[in-house]
Amino acid sequence: MEDKIKELETEIERLKERVGHWKRLAKGQKPRNEWLKESHYEGNHYKHLVLTQWPDDFPLNETLYYIKTEIIPKYEPYVYDQCYRTNRLGWVVVLVKHKQVDMWNDLEFFDQEALFEE
């Protein structure tokens, strides 16, 4: 029962984000993008998050502690993959959600016969 409640709360949050996206578009505002980059590779979903609220000159060990305590719990089910610092953006953390979609085997949303017709 608790799992179902958590799943429904997650779905509510996702829908709230989508409604907010469409409201911003209707008002002519630019969509809010908290991710520097988003990609899908070998079934894993990657997101690169710029730590805008974190000082650029903090050392790696303090940055990793901040990521572990503040960022990771906020973005579950994503897990830590790597972090790096750039001169232009500051600290960037890469989060990954493993095996979200297997594009080669999970094609039930496509018409299989139409895909392989010549």
Residue 89 pLDDT exceeds 70: yes
Residue 108 pLDDT exceeds 60: no
| Residue 40, pLDDT score | 82
Mean pLDDT, range 67-74, rounded to an integer: 90
Residue written as tokens 């829908």? 15
Radius of gyration of the chain (CA): 18
Strand order from edge to edge, sheet including 44-50: 35-41, 44-50, 90-97, 79-86
Partnered with residue 38 across adjacent β-strands are 47
pLDDT tens for 5-24 read 988 988 888 788 778 767 76
Q: pTM for the whole thing? A: 0.59
Tell me how far apart the alpha carbons of residues 24 and 47 are, in angstroms, rounded to a whole number: 22
Distances (CA, A) of 104 to 69, 107, 108, 109, 111: 36, 7, 10, 12, 13
- Pairing label, strands 35-41, 44-50: antiparallel
On the CB side of 118, CA atoms within 13 Å amount to 0
